[in-house]
Chains A and B, each alone.
Chain A
Amino acid sequence: MDNLLWIFISALLVNNFVLTYFLGLCPFLGVSNSLETSARLGLATTFVMLVTAVCAWILNTYVLIHAPYLRLICFIVVIASTVQFIEMLIKKLSPALFRAMGIFLPLITTNCAILGLAIFATNRGYGFWEGIVYALGAGIGFTLALVLLAGLREESELSNIPQLIKGTAMNLIIAGILSMAFMGFAGLFSTA
């Protein structure tokens, strides 16, 4: 089994969920126009990821051995329920935050990053602690990518951008350069 630190750093930097695995692109491109919203969404997503990782491990260990074909449906149900639960929680604890996040909270459900996390962790046979560490790394990595892009976008608002490239085209090209930068993290753990 890979050791815990490698799993964490790998998910966070070397194999970042957004910039290397292309997961979670909808919020990445859609929400990152505001630094604050991005940070909040990232945090909420990280929490959902943690819960999902634990539930996935429980399901895999006790239930799905007998019925592996039900894996996909079970994961989706878990994710949808977790998001619903968090929605209710945030609404109760901080109505202002709830209003600020608006539609993006329920949209966490269709965030491929969370389902992807569950599937990857299953395929790699991660145990309980590995799953938690993986979810932490992935969630923080997701938040990092979102915040980076949001910061760059906010900066670029003030510059003179040609009409043609404005919008998603520019965001994608910026993302491409960010992805290239993150490629530099490969080999971080090499013992050569």
Chain B
Amino acid sequence: MNKNESYEEFIKGIWRDNPVFVQVLGMCPMLAVTNSAVNAIAMGMATLFVLVGSSFLVSSFRNLIPKQVRISCFIIIIATFVTIADYTLLALVPKVHKELGAFIPLIVANCLILGRQEAFASRYPTRLAVLDALGMASGFMLALFSLGSVREILGDGALFGVKLFGENYEPWVIMILPPGGFLTLGVILLFFNWFKFKKDEFLEDVAAAERSGN
């Protein structure tokens, strides 16, 4: 297991295989809690805790869990971590917990977490599984944060509660309401598509240039 491999496992979750922007997983909590940057980060941390914890356990016990009951075991493990996260948040930061509301228990239904257990953690050694989880969760948090900050800046004129513009700024309220969530993510995906399109174009130009015997 060389260093490059480990790095690769971690970094892929951040950009190339970003769970939200590329794989389009974990949508439900995404749009609901990103009406402000603070909520987005809190949800990101909770998801990180659940994902890393679950991947660690699933990977460590992957040879002991029979195939037939693996999904049920995954779910039991994930639900346990989510419950722990729920009570911990409620005890430590009740205000944040109130904002996130019912979406903390809903982390269980986040296809991202179950998907990673099935696709990766149950097949690879613990160290790689944890790195993969960290990467995916970081990518997820990055996505949440970018969505949350855009919505908060446009819809509230603030970031982390700190007002950015003057008194006269008329906030674009729709951005912190549900339609804003859909639209912002749609536009971000649009940029991703455009980026990919340009990249493909560039690669094609390079290939064409090489073919014409440059």
Q: Touch between A and B in complex, CB under 8 Å?
A: yes
CA distance A165 to B177 in the complex (A): 23
Nearest to B196 among chain A residues (CB) is A164
Nearest to B28 among chain A residues (CB) is A112
Given A119-B102, A164-B193, CB of A72 within 8 Å of CB of B79: yes
Contact A116 B106 (CB under 8 A): yes
CA distance A180 to B27 in the complex (A): 19
Contact B182 A175 (CB under 8 A): yes
Contact B106 A26 (CB under 8 A): no
**Interface range on chain A (Cβ under 8 Å from partner):** 35 or more
Given A69-B87, A76-B75, CB of A172 within 8 Å of CB of B183: yes
**A187 interface residue, CB < 8 Å from B?**
no
Contact B179 A115 (CB under 8 A): no
**A73 interface residue, CB < 8 Å from B?**
yes
Residues of B participating in the A interface, judged by any CB pair closer than 8 Å: 24-25, 27-32, 72, 75-76, 79-80, 82-83, 86-87, 101-102, 105-106, 108-111, 114, 174, 177-183, 185-187, 189-190, 192-194, 197
> Could you give 23 example pairs across A and B, Cβ below 8 Å?
A21-B32, A25-B28, A26-B25, A26-B27, A72-B79, A73-B76, A111-B109, A112-B110, A120-B102, A123-B101, A123-B102, A167-B193, A168-B186, A169-B187, A169-B192, A169-B193, A171-B186, A173-B183, A173-B187, A175-B182, A176-B182, A176-B186, A183-B177
Residues of A participating in the B interface, judged by any CB pair closer than 8 Å: 19-26, 29, 69, 72-73, 76, 80, 110-112, 115-116, 119-120, 123, 163-165, 167-173, 175-177, 179-180, 183
